């Protein structure tokens, strides 16, 4: 699921994949920093939506359905100029057609960098 995706381009790695928890890590560096030298908010949002969409996808039959981002919000709480950030997605709602996931992005010291809520649509393939 990583090849030729944003996950591959931004060096996002799987840490944990389960039905109720997805953990991803992303380095903070030239690919993810904005002009001022800190983690780009868009990179944090991309990481959050990736974690939420992947978490939702683990909960559906991927032969019949796709999990796609429908809405996302994010609050950027702390800047980060290097190192690693970790995203942890946990469910707030798991329905048949939509799921809502909370994603907390923290640094190596477990300090919250960003908090996000992502609504994922479950759509039929076809």
- Please tell me the distance from the alpha carbon of residue 41 to that of residue 28, in angstroms, as a whole number: 11
- What the block records as the tokens of 44 is 């944090």
Closest CA to 20 of 64, 62, 51, 45: 51
Which three-class secondary structure state does DSSP give residue 108? Answer: coil
Which three-class secondary structure state does DSSP give residue 100? Answer: strand
List the catalytic residue out of 49, 108, 109, 124.
Answer: 49
Other CB atoms within 10 A of residue 84 CB: 15
Residue 125 CA, chain-centre distance (Å), reads: 22
- Please tell me the distance from the alpha carbon of residue 87 to that of residue 107, in angstroms, as a whole number: 9
- Asked if 49 is an active-site residue, the reply is yes
Catalytic positions: 49
């Amino acid at each position: 699921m990583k090849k030729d995706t944003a996950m591959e381009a931004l060096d996002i790695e799987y840490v944990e994949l389960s039905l109720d928890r997805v953990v991803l890590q992303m380095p903070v560096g030239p690919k993810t920093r904005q002009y001022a030298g800190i983690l780009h908010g868009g990179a944090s949002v991309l990481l959050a939506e990736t974690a939420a969409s992947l978490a939702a996808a683990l909960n559906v039959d991927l032969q019949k359905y796709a999990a796609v981002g429908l809405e996302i919000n994010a609050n950027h709480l702390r800047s980060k100029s290097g190192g690693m950030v970790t995203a942890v997605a946990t469910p707030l709602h798991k329905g048949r057609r939509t799921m809502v996931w909370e994603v907390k992005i923290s640094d190596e010291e477990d300090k919250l960098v960003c908090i996000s809520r992502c609504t994922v649509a479950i759509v039929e393939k076809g």
